[in-house]
Amino acid sequence: MLATDDDILAKAEAWRRAGRGVAIATVTETWGSAPRPVGSHLVIDEEGNFLGSVSGGCVEASVVTEALDTIGDGKARMLEFGVADETAWRAGLSCGGRIRVYVEKVD
């Protein structure tokens, strides 16, 4: 079962109140087939803990890595992922779709 938006935002707030660095990633656009719809969130803390989902597979791992960089330098990032059908499963985009994910630090 995926976490709800309320769960994800509550976790972001709890982590910030605990003094942790936090970033939130949001799916802003999709093309073709994508595992998660526009508006899906993933919250990440400075230790690499996370809740929610923006995709899956290698894409999600890459978003977590970029989020840690965002926590460190405070710079928001727009990430785009897309793969050809023959490599789609490996990257976590099951049908060759593309997604765009915005990552920002939570202050």
Record the pTM.
0.86
Count the domains in the chain. 1
User: How confident is the model over 64-70, as a mean pLDDT?
Assistant: 97
Q: Which ranges of the chain would DSSP assign to H, the alpha helix? A: 5-17, 57-73, 88-91
Domain with 20 in it: 5-106
Q: Which residue has the higher pLDDT, 80 or 35?
A: 80
| pLDDT of amino acid 94 | 55
Mean pLDDT of the chain: 87
97 has pLDDT over 80: no
Q: Which amino acid is at 104?
A: E
Which residues neighbour 53 within 8 Å (Cβ) at sequence distance 6 or greater? Answer: 2, 3, 35, 36, 40, 42, 60
CA 81, 4, 75: angle at the middle one, nearest 5? 45
- What single DSSP character describes residue 74? -
Q: Within a 10 A sphere around the Cβ of 18, how many other Cβ atoms?
A: 9
